[in-house]
Amino acid sequence: MKNAKIFFLIQIIFLILNADYAYAGVSSLKLQPKSVNMGIVTADDYQAGYQEKIQANLLTIRDNSNDWKVLVRTNDSSMGVVGSYAKPVSDMEWRAQGTYATQTAYIGIANYDIEVARAPKNNNDRSIFIDYRVLLYWAKDVPGNYHITLLYTLTTQ
């Protein structure tokens, strides 16, 4: 009887260890919403020099195996072309908000990875808000529809 209890206890410990091992490799990055519309630019936006959207995206990150970081970049060469004018990607600025945000001041998007946030491994979700603003210039900008694709990457530190 004593051997049966020990065998049963060993089986339970084995099941717990297997369940923990199966859960150990969970990594995820969620972006909500998938697309952001900055809206129609007004004269007040031009007067301010930019159009801004606060908390435009929410990044939810989980990695319980590794310390992690999130990077952002674009592969676009411009935000679009209207006539002969190409709106530079650097006119699209972003910043991160949250406990683990590392880029908390506005910076232009680039064609190389820039760190958004970093944190130690943990079983809990980590939330990072992303703000965007588009720089506007009366003398330079041409009215039109512009767009840019941003790529967020979750990687280990």
Percentage, residues of the chain above pLDDT 90? 67
CATH number of 27-156: 2.60.40
| Greater pLDDT, 11 or 133 | 133
Q: What is the pLDDT of residue 114?
A: 96
Report whether pLDDT(100) > 90: yes
Question: 144-147: long-range contacts at Cβ-Cβ below 8 A with a sequence spacing of 24 or more?
Answer: 144/80, 144/82, 145/80, 146/79, 146/80, 146/82, 146/87, 147/79, 147/80
Name the pTM for this structure. Answer: 0.80
Report whether pLDDT(20) > 70: no
Alpha-carbon distances, residue 18 vs 7, 11, 24, 142 (angstroms): 16, 10, 10, 60
SS3 (DSSP) at 52? strand
Q: What is the pLDDT of residue 131?
A: 97
pLDDT, mean of residues 12-20: 42
Q: What is the pLDDT of residue 2?
A: 56
Least confident of 4-13, 21-30, 37-46, 147-156: 4-13
pLDDT, mean of residues 11-31: 56
pLDDT digits (tens, 9 = 90+) for 27-52: 888 989 999 999 999 999 999 999 99
Considering only CA atoms, which of 150, 152, 74, 89 is closest in space to residue 115?
152
pLDDT, mean of residues 7-33: 56
